[in-house]
Structure 1
């Protein structure tokens, strides 16, 4: 049985505390605008100029379907960083419609679902992203732990925080959350 050592207020975590960790940009090849959009998403550039750059990039006729989908995912990351949850969700949806094999898109969409308090949708998206071998699984497990905890799945949250730390032992946010838990074993025969 698992008991929380302290009560977690999901809103108290603050979206900004974990959203940077949630972003898993999808690489795009070539020296195109799409490549510049990837760099903006990967290296933390979040501005109206970045949004404009990515929006122009998705309209490039020369992109492969995969690169167009990846560019929508990267546009979603930038919207997310700017706090534009609905625009981020729309971009992720568009990218995943084009290429549903992009695990990072599901993980990133799951992070926005958490922001919107759509926790069950977040759990489903992140689980799908993990099944597609998303690039940063420790982030996926961490985000899914937040969603699991929000809906009262304390044991699942503990397991996900623990998995995030197993993958990346220096993951400070996951270590902090994991430290709040205490494992209590049930005595045999209920005694």
Structure 2
């Protein structure tokens, strides 16, 4: 019987501890207006983080948005908070989004990232287990990558390896996942 043995570099857990989950799962908004501008500010980073936040705040305060667009705008504003290391605020926005649209899996991916950064690893894992089912390829790949980081923090190197592998298979251009995989050696042994 063959078994696979997964080993990381000596500093695998230390390196993983310095890696942070990404918030790449911006959610598009249907139609124009400030909510669409908020999405574009998050996705394309053409304006400063402060200006992006102002746009998202105005969209949430002044525009009449559908439930889905309001939920998407909360996700997008939460991503801005994540980028500025305001993890509690990001968490609040992702939770608000899910309160409006519980099936918005991009919000679950980002919720998992916020929980990870708040050292709430078990909760992060639960959110990411759902988030990896996102239809959007980038969101799904990010979910697997973030779940890999979470598995590593929880000491499950084998699951971490497979999540990084799946993230890279899902999005072959995902260099963060490729870097994580470089740290692993897979050894097959008999017995």
- Range into which the TM-score falls when normalised by the shorter chain: 0.7 to 0.9
1:4 lines up with 2:8 in the alignment: yes
Q: Following superposition, which runs of at least 4 residues in structure 1 exceed 4 angstroms of deviation?
A: none
1:25 lines up with 2:26 in the alignment: yes
Residue of structure 2 equivalent to 1:155: 158
Q: Distance in 2 between matches of 1:40 and 1:182?
A: 39
Quick check: 1:101–1:132 contact (8 Å CA) kept in 2? no
Q: Distance in 1 between matches of 2:80 and 2:113?
A: 13
Quick check: 2:132–2:141 contact (8 Å CA) kept in 1? no
Residue of structure 2 equivalent to 1:102: 104
Q: Distance in 1 between matches of 2:122 and 2:44?
A: 29
Residue aligned with 1:185, SS: strand
CA RMSD of aligned residues (A): 1.7
Residue of structure 2 equivalent to 1:48: 50
Q: Distance in 2 between matches of 1:135 and 1:59?
A: 30
Across the two proteins, how many residue pairs are aligned to each other? Answer: 183
Residue of structure 1 equivalent to 2:177: 174
For residue 185 of structure 1, report the CA deviation from its aligned partner. Answer: 2.7
Instruction: Extract unaligned runs of 5+ from structure 1.
Output: none
> Any idea what the Cα deviations from partners look like across 1:21-75, whole Å, max 9, x if unmatched?
x321111122211111111111135522222221221123521111011111111
Query: Which region of structure 1 is more displaced relative to structure 2, 88-97 or 130-139?
Result: 130-139
Residue aligned with 1:59, SS: helix
**Higher RCO (C-alpha 8 Å, min separation 6):** 2
